[in-house]
Amino acid sequence: MLQKYGKNVDMRFLKRDIVKIKEMIQNNSEFSRENLVRFNEKLNYECRICHNKNFSKFTNVHGYEYVQCITCKSIILLNIPDVKKLYEQNESKASMIYLNEEVFYRRVETIAVPKIQFISEAIEWHNHCLWCDVGCGVGEILTGLKQNYHGIEGIGIEIDSAEIQFGLDKGLKIIKGFINPENTPDEIIEIICKADIVSMMNVLEHIEKPDKTVDFYKRYMKSGAYLVIEVPRHPSLASFVNLVSPELTYRHIVPPVHLQIFSDEAIEFMAGEEFKLVATWGFGQGYTDILTSTMLLGKISEMKLYSDLMDIGNDVQKVIDEKGFSDQMIYVLRKK
């Protein structure tokens, strides 16, 4: 099995400096409080991945109760909001940072293309593949394919109208829709049945029934096709940062949009006997989270030492990832 650790990326290059992060923290705080559903201790909550009902407390962020499942070790948000209403009212607001030409092409270069390259190394790659990117956003993966892999047909599925239009304006093929395991349009089912590669990059953490979504792929994906899942991961250094400074969350454990943070055991549980794990890539930003959180707690806007420490972030983070504390993981699964 192919295993990779670390990723060379500097979020300052993607316009995420101290000022921008402070703005993101403030926006997230306001949005989360507006959509808070009060935690009810009398309700019989269960894990949305393995359905166990035994938890240990992890952290509370703006009134959102996050716990760790005793069985699958994932972090689960108990008092989830009305997810449908959440995304209807938040359509395009949360994605405004991506609707930017300069940032878009920087993200394609530094984030999307390395992921495509890793996946191409992990699977039996051939021309004339159909790659379906579910929750494709503005089309970063699709653009990376279009620019560098001319034999691969890329098609996206997305629900956000502004993001879809952004991608369509670039000549990408994107269908408006959403995979609802109980009621998915025939057009989308047909695409999933034909696809050689189906990717869900940072999607499952937003879904109320992640296990049922994976079951949908078990039912409709063809034998030999690949399912690529990228999710926030626990245990990680980023989880620790969110635990000790919950008031400063803006990524990783971030309510109300992140409903679960996945463990390796959770992915194995959902994959079941139908999928074989063929590759993993662990990376993250836990080290830079610590630096940035410390700067914000100290109410320091900028200093050379902070910048110098940020400059060695990739080297330090790779060691953290290799030791098992990456906060993002890509899992490449082959349908048996």
Domain residues of the chain, as ranges? 2-335
pLDDT digits (tens, 9 = 90+) for 17-71: 888 899 999 989 998 998 998 888 888 899 999 999 999 999 999 999 999 999 9
Q: How does residue 91 score in pLDDT terms, banded at 50, 70 and 90?
A: low
- On the question of pLDDT at 11 being above 90, the answer is no
pLDDT digits (tens, 9 = 90+) for 116-127: 999 999 997 777
The per-residue pLDDT for 301 is 77
Lowest-confidence region among 95-99, 146-150, 158-162: 95-99
- Which candidate, 142, 51, 138, 46, places its Cα nearest to that of 100? 138
Q: pLDDT grade, residue 303 (50/70/90)?
A: confident
Q: pTM value? A: 0.94
> Tens digits of per-residue pLDDT, 281-295?
999 999 999 999 999
User: pLDDT value at position 89?
Assistant: 62
pLDDT at 9: 82
Q: What is the pLDDT of residues 13-27, one digit of tens each?
A: 777 888 889 999 998
Return the pLDDT at 43. 86
Share of the chain above pLDDT 70, in %: 96
Confidence of residue 75 (pLDDT cuts 50, 70, 90): very high
Thinking of the domain 2-335, which architecture would CATH place it in? 3-Layer(aba) Sandwich (3.40)
Q: Which alpha helices (DSSP H) does 149-263 contain, by range?
A: 161-168, 186-194, 210-220, 237-244
The structure tokens listed for 278 are 């063929």
pLDDT at 230 over 70: yes
Q: Cis omega (within 30 of 0) on the bond before 185? A: no
Which helix (DSSP H) or strand (DSSP E) does residue 291 occupy? helix 286-297
Amino acid 79: pLDDT: 94
Whether the per-residue pLDDT at 93 is higher than 60: the answer is no
Calculate the average pLDDT of the chain.
92
Which pLDDT does position 190 carry in this prediction?
A: 97
| Polymer length of the chain | 336
pLDDT mean over 309-320 = 96
Under DSSP, the state recorded for 316 is: H
Residue 92 has pLDDT above 60, yes or no: no
Residue 128: exposure state from Cβ atoms within 10 A (0-12, 13-18, ≥19): exposed
* pLDDT of 76 higher than 60: yes
By percentage, how much of the chain surpasses pLDDT 90? 77
